[in-house]
Amino acid sequence: MDLSAINPVLLIASLMVAATPLLLAAIGELVVEKAGVLNLGVEGMMIVGAIAGFATAVESGSPFLGFIAAAIAGAALSILFAILTQFAQANQVASGLSLTLFGLGLSALMGQSYVGVKPPRMGDIHIPGLSDLPVIGPILFGHDIILYFGIILTAAVWWMLKYSRIGLVLRAVGENHDAAHALGYKVLKIRLAAIMFGGACAGLGGAYISLIRVPQWTEGMTAGIGWIALALVVFASWKPWRALLGAYLFGGVTVVQLNLQAAGVAIPVEYLAMSPYLITILVLVILSADKSSAPAALGRNFHASR
């Protein structure tokens, strides 16, 4: 065992990178579910965002444009889900699952000519002085811009849901769409907006994997992160800061366990491998012991005539 081989600064810096795709997708889905819609297609929107962002970044040479394209692609795919569930009144669970399957297939098709291509690099920000500080510099001031965007987005969503009028309306739609409708709110339009926001966030998360975390395009490269994001929303009891905590815990334990393995720590590898799931669930379940619960109208379709 040689724990000194682990550099805690690099460790924390890389756990933040590992957590960001999960955080982005989870925050998006959180807003969707707060509006009373259950979209199980996160994985599909992520993977389509991953290839759309990758392709755009390669063709244009700008990773930034890639991220914008990824958000648009994710949102576009989510519109499909919105049409099916909000206007055609299809079952949300089935539509979400098929969205994932569709996204995986579509991304494989789109990505055929991008296997093995190297994307342009997204530079890390560099603030003179601050980024050069020992320890704090690499952890707080040495990342790419999207990572900070994820944290800012969490704060913004938290503030929006808790304090703003839009947040209040969104929550009303998610808790009781009939009452919201009676008050004159456009339930379907609000839900459509929420679904598109969720799609855009999932797309960003996917592009973060293909452009920064890995960075390359491989079929099926999100490998289940969308599903973990879905579970994370539930375990975080629909609270943005808990989703952030959960994402960092999950990303953190994933990176820590690989570090411990490489350092030869004498813990059986199976326990290390399951630890990210176990610890994240455990912490969030303990946190959610209070009376927070799911939005009351979650997964129920709305039609004005009923």
Partner 1 sequence: MKLTNLLTSATVALGLAAGAAWAQDKTKVGFVYVGPVGDGGWTYEHDQGRKAVEAEFGDQVETVYVENVAEGPDAERVMTQMALEGADLIFTTSFGYMDPTINVAKKFPNVKFEHATGYKRADNVSTYSARFYEGRAVQGTIAGHMTESNIIGYIGSYPIPEVIRGINSAYIHAKKVNPDVQFKIVWAFTWFDPAKEADAAKVLIEQGADVILQHTDSTAPQAAAQNAGNVITFGQASDMAEYAPKPRVSSIIDDWAPYYIARTKAVMDGTWESVDTWDGIGAGMVGIGEISDAVPADVKEAALAIKDSIADGSYHPFTGPLKKQDGSDWLAEGETADDGTLAGMNFYVEGLEGDIPQ
C-alpha to C-alpha distances, 131 to 10, 121, 138, 142, 145, nearest whole angstrom:
14, 19, 6, 6, 14
In single-letter form, the type of residue at position 84 comes to: L
Q: What is the DSSP letter of 193?
A: H
Q: E strand or H helix at 50, and its extent?
A: helix 42-60
What 3-state class would DSSP assign to 36? coil
Cα–Cα dist 59/256, whole Å: 35
Per-residue contact track with partner 1, 266 to 305, x per CB under 8 A? Answer: x-xxx--x--------------------------------
Cα–Cα dist 266/151, whole Å: 35
Q: Which of 54, 105, 99, 100 is nearest to 81 (CA)?
A: 99
Can residue 8 be called a binding residue for partner 1 (CB under 8 A)?
Answer: no
Can residue 14 be called a binding residue for partner 1 (CB under 8 A)?
Answer: yes
Cα angle 203-209-213, degrees, rounded to a multiple of 5 = 150
Closer CB to partner 1, 154 or 259, in the complex: 259
SS (H, E, C) 122-190: CCCCCCCCCCCCCCHHHHHCCCCHHHHHHHHHHHHHHHHHHHCHHHHHHHHHHHCHHHHHHCCCCHHHH
C-alpha to C-alpha distances, 58 to 47, 61, 103, 109, nearest whole angstrom:
16, 5, 20, 17
Q: How far is the CB of 47 from partner 1 (least distance, A)?
A: 11
Can residue 100 be called a binding residue for partner 1 (CB under 8 A)?
Answer: no
Q: Are 207 and 150 in contact (CB under 8 A)?
A: no
Task: Candidates 27-35, 63-71, 141-149, 212-220: pick the segment binding partner 1 (CB under 8 A).
Answer: 212-220
Q: How far is the CB of 236 from partner 1 (least distance, A)?
A: 21
Among 176, 218, 275, 288, which residue sits at the site for partner 1 (rule: CB under 8 A)?
218
Binding-site size, partner 1 (CB under 8 A): 42
Task: Candidates 8-16, 143-151, 159-167, 188-196: pick the segment binding partner 1 (CB under 8 A).
Answer: 8-16
Closer CB to partner 1, 116 or 129, in the complex: 116
Per-residue contact track with partner 1, 15 to 34, x per CB under 8 A? Answer: ---x--x-------------
Task: Candidates 80-88, 109-117, 158-166, 288-296: pick the segment binding partner 1 (CB under 8 A).
Answer: 109-117
Cα–Cα dist 100/91, whole Å: 15
Cα–Cα dist 221/224, whole Å: 9
Q: How far is the CB of 240 from partner 1 (least distance, A)?
A: 23
Between helix 269-287 and helix 240-262 the angle, nearest 10°, is 160
Can residue 3 be called a binding residue for partner 1 (CB under 8 A)?
Answer: no
Q: How many CA atoms lie within 13 A of 194 on its CB side?
A: 29
Can residue 117 be called a binding residue for partner 1 (CB under 8 A)?
Answer: yes
Can residue 61 be called a binding residue for partner 1 (CB under 8 A)?
Answer: no
Q: How far is the CB of 143 from partner 1 (least distance, A)?
A: 14
Can residue 11 be called a binding residue for partner 1 (CB under 8 A)?
Answer: yes
Among 93, 115, 166, 304, which residue sits at the site for partner 1 (rule: CB under 8 A)?
115
Among 64, 97, 219, 277, which residue sits at the site for partner 1 (rule: CB under 8 A)?
219
Task: Candidates 110-118, 139-147, 161-169, 182-190: pick the segment binding partner 1 (CB under 8 A).
Answer: 110-118
Q: Which residues bind partner 1 (CB under 8 A)?
A: 5-7, 10-11, 14, 18, 21, 108, 111-112, 115-118, 121, 209, 213-216, 218-225, 254-255, 258-259, 261-264, 266, 268-270, 273
